Amino acid sequence: MDNMLGFLETLSAFFIFLLALGIFAIIYMYIVDRMQNKHAIRRNYPVIGRFRYLFEKQGEFFRQYFFAMDREELPFNRAERSWVYRAAKNVDRTIAFGSTRNLEPTGTIMFMNCAFPTLEEDAVPPSTITFGQGCKTPYSTDSLFNISAMSFGALSAPAVKALSNGAAKAGCWMNTGEGGVSEHHLASGADIIYQIGTAKYGVSDGNGNLCDEKLAKMAAKPQIKMFEIKMSQGAKPGKGGILPGKKVTAEIAEIRGIEQGQDSISPNAHREIKSVKDILTMVNHIRDVTGKPVGFKAVIGESLWLRELLEEINLQGAEFAPDFITIDSADGGTGAAPQPLMDYVGLPLKESLPLVVNLLVEYGLRKRIRVICAGKLITPSKVAWALAVGADAINSARGFMFSLGCIQALQCNKDTCPTGITTHNLKLQRGLDPKDKAERVANYHKYIQYGVGLLAHSCGVTHARKLERRHVRIIQDNGLSVALDKLYPYK
């Protein structure tokens, strides 16, 4: 009994201590809030005003899980993310009782089913396409869907390993992003596209110029299939890459040739490229040194330069053309970027993709130059749309991030990613098992290709690369639809 009373007295004293501590903390916060002059809410409403910042911070998570409808959320809604999660986990992807997708808003796309759809025995795999047929080492692939540019630095080492292993299992390519190639990219044997950004990480002479010796060394790696010159990217058209210093580890610093812990800021443009002739000069120089296909990536905005480029190619000869053009969309967003650029600069893919394809047709270069595109294409319907409009292949960054387990926490630039994908915090990285996630990456790729095939067969063609603009209609302002071949006619 005495022991029980003693325990209760101790417990009572502990609670009294906590109460006193709480009162002291409230008084302290009250005084601090009254005395400070940086936050009007806290000054006028001491202590209570602090809850505003808590609610503001937590608001995005409550909206995501409790309040936003399945088709409302941005940048990707719950319906899109859920499909990717189910595909990556290889679980049931069917739905019941009708679609929640509204078919009335302007811009809604619909595929036109054929009266005589393709039977299973008549279906064939996607045709193989070849990049750089005139190169010493051309590159052929049958993959419709591939991993877009995300650099080691923006992504963690476990994430890069998982994506690389998943790409090898799936038979698709992986773009390095501008951060250079690492052992994590190469270990799996996956096909790699080496991106050369404006800072030329990994192939620089130390003064911001291309180093032919390093280029040749990269080209000697059999996994590196093509080289892509990054002129601009969807997250921040007109500005170079941004990697905060807290994400520049010793390993990343060594690969990039920069100082550990310092912000990695790439120039806004390549110093060698100031005209369309300069683009061709750089493309052909890299192709001569490496012997492999070379193209460039750009967000399309002002488009007069495209006509000038194609005219210059026809003057010099088709053999001097880039082997591919990667069209990035203003819808891009994996990288850290200033909000004005992410929100307001560049054309979305629905305008830029048909624009580029039509120009290539007009100048007789469509068969010479392959078209790759990227921009929020994470589900089979959007991939099929891009193929129908004229893309040869599609890249996705955020789709594959979702397959790794990304929950759209919107913390990619803060080194606090809760799923370990975009952080170099070892404790957070522990949650990402590269072996398990590689399987999910491969599953996601598999079911994208399968889903695109379903749409293609419904439209009556034998494989997805036979989809054409006439197979897709889009809702106009008057509520009625028009076929894409009428909306985007070839000249």
pLDDT at position 475, please?
Answer: 93
d(CA 488, CA 143): 26
* DSSP codes of every residue in 17-86: HHHHHHHHHHHHHHHHHHH--S-HHHHHSTTTTHHHHHHHHHHHHHIIIIIS-TTT-SSS-HHHHHHHHH
Q: Are strands 324-328 and 294-299 parallel, antiparallel or unpaired?
A: parallel
In this predicted model, which residue has the larger pLDDT, 280 or 155? 280
pLDDT > 90? residue 42: no
- pTM value? 0.86
- Sign of torsion, CA 108 487 313 135? positive
d(CA 317, CA 180): 31
pLDDT at position 275, please?
Answer: 95
Average pLDDT in the 453-460 region? 95
The CA-atom distances, in angstroms, between 218 and each of 180, 186, 195, 307, 483 are 10, 11, 11, 32, 45
pLDDT at position 423, please?
Answer: 87
- Sign of torsion, CA 175 133 277 207? positive
Q: Give the CATH fold of the 120-487 domain.
A: TIM Barrel (3.20.20)
pLDDT at position 68, please?
Answer: 57
Q: Which of 49-53, 182-186, 264-268 is predicted most confidently?
A: 182-186
The CA-atom distances, in angstroms, between 263 and each of 246, 252, 260, 288, 462 are 8, 12, 9, 33, 50
pLDDT at position 5, please?
Answer: 66
pLDDT > 90? residue 192: yes
Could you tell me if 337 and 235 are in contact, meaning their C-beta atoms sit under 8 angstroms apart? yes
d(CA 349, CA 358): 14
Determine the Cα angle at 12 with ends 7 and 15, to 5°: 125
Q: What residues does each domain of the chain span?
A: 2-67, 120-487
Average pLDDT in the 272-296 region? 96
3-class DSSP state of 151: coil
pLDDT > 80? residue 349: yes
Tens-place pLDDT, residues 228-238? 999 988 777 77
Tens-place pLDDT, residues 108-133? 999 999 999 999 888 999 999 999 99
* DSSP codes of every residue in 270-330: -TT-SSHHHHHHHHHHHHHHH-S-EEEEEE--S-HHHHHHHHHHHHH-GGGS-SEEEEE-T
d(CA 404, CA 439): 9
Amino acid (one-letter) located at 223: Q
Sheet holding 472-475, edge to edge: 109-111, 472-475, 481-483
d(CA 390, CA 373): 10
pLDDT > 70? residue 282: yes
3-class DSSP state of 155: strand
Tens-place pLDDT, residues 49-91? 787 666 666 665 655 555 555 556 667 777 888 888 889 988 8
Q: Is 400 left (phi over 0), alpha (psi -120 to 50) or beta?
A: alpha
Could you tell me if 295 and 370 are in contact, meaning their C-beta atoms sit under 8 angstroms apart? yes
Least Cα distance to 336 among 433, 247, 220, 209 occurs for 247
Share of the chain above pLDDT 70, in %: 93
In this predicted model, which residue has the larger pLDDT, 322 or 337? 322
pLDDT at position 488, please?
Answer: 92
What residues form DSSP beta bridges with 395?
A: 146, 374
Unique residue bearing structure tokens 């129908």: 388
Amino acid (one-letter) located at 62: F
pLDDT > 80? residue 344: no
pLDDT at position 267, please?
Answer: 85
The CA-atom distances, in angstroms, between 43 and each of 23, 28, 56, 258 are 19, 13, 18, 44
The CA-atom distances, in angstroms, between 50 and each of 23, 38, 57, 134, 165 are 16, 13, 11, 65, 46
* DSSP codes of every residue in 448-487: HHHHHHHHHHHTT-SSGGG--GGGEEEE-TTS-EEEHHHH
Mean pLDDT of the residues in the chain = 88
Tens-place pLDDT, residues 200-219? 999 988 888 899 999 999 99
Over the Cα atoms of the chain, what is R_g? 26
pLDDT > 90? residue 383: yes
pLDDT > 80? residue 6: no
